[in-house]
Amino acid sequence: MAKAEFSPSLMCMDLLELKEQVAFLNGKADFYHVDIMDGHFVKNITLSPDFVRALSRIAAKPIDCHLMVTNPEDYVESLAKAGAGYITPHAETLCNQAFRMIGAIRDAGCKVGVAVSPATPLGMLESYLHLVDKLTIMTVDPGFAGQPFIREMLDKIALAARLKAERGYTYKIEVDGSCNVRTYRELYAAGAQVFILGSSGLFGLDASLPAAWDKMCAQFAGETGV
């Protein structure tokens, strides 16, 4: 299986310690996960293109912007200029503009991600899956941290892995929601490659981020053997 990769969810970090924590994570993480919510597609409002601009000055790993917004087209240019490496809109917002959005993200110099809410079937993405660099499968409903794991998503992850192998797709399979010691084994076995780490998977494990990272790695290795 592919090497596991880790993407800390920065809305769960101590933002007062942003510079210090990013300096540590630059040597550990594979991506930075930045949730951008508009208060419409989901009820919450979180980070912004201005946050991405500040982060890009100190980040040494790609910044992945997860757009939980109704109109993702309004964010592509500003996020690309701010330093985003990946722009990941939701499939539910792309119904009538998927190819246009994919083209706009690529033209802006970013890689293309697509996120899928739990109730959305992968078949909805079938016509453009071959164009996607990263497929983010949500294992909780979008909008808030700390929700319970939706076990039915294990089958969706396995299907994404099977389609990738059978059709030669190149996307990374990423999981967003409840990635922690209780789910690592099943997620990895199903085919997950990139694990988004929030409060339960990283930031809530210890007040010291280096200690929390060591605990996460030990938990992951203990559950998956890798």
What is the tens place of the pLDDT at every residue in 108-135?
999 999 999 999 999 999 999 999 999 9
Active-site residue (options: 35, 38, 64, 133): 35
Active-site residue (options: 50, 141, 176, 206): 176
Owner of token pair 């101590």 = 14
List the chain domain ranges: 5-224
The pLDDT assigned to 89 comes to 97
For 37-41, 54-58, 84-88, which range has the lowest pLDDT when averaged over its residues?
37-41
- Class of CATH domain 5-224: alpha beta
Q: Which of 5, 9, 2, 4 is nearest to 200 (CA)?
A: 9
The pLDDT assigned to 1 comes to 65
Q: Is 200 annotated as a binding residue?
A: yes
pLDDT tens digit sequence for 184-215: 999 999 999 999 999 999 999 999 999 999 99
For residues 45 and 24, what is the distance between their CA atoms, to the nearest angstrom? 26
Q: In the predicted model, what is the mean pLDDT of residues 40-63? A: 90
Q: Does the pLDDT at position 86 exceed 90? A: yes
pTM: 0.94
Q: Is 56 annotated as a binding residue?
A: no
Q: Is 113 annotated as a binding residue?
A: no
User: CA triplet 222, 202, 181: central angle to 5 degrees?
Assistant: 35
| 7 three-class SS | strand
Which residue type sits at 118?
P
The pLDDT assigned to 179 comes to 96
Q: Which residue has the higher pLDDT, 142 or 79?
A: 79
- Whether 35 is catalytic is yes
Q: Is 130 annotated as a binding residue?
A: no
For residues 123 and 73, what is the distance between their CA atoms, to the nearest angstrom? 23
pLDDT tens digit sequence for 125-162: 999 999 999 999 999 988 766 678 999 999 999 999 99
Owner of token pair 């949730």 = 35
Q: Is 199 annotated as a binding residue?
A: yes
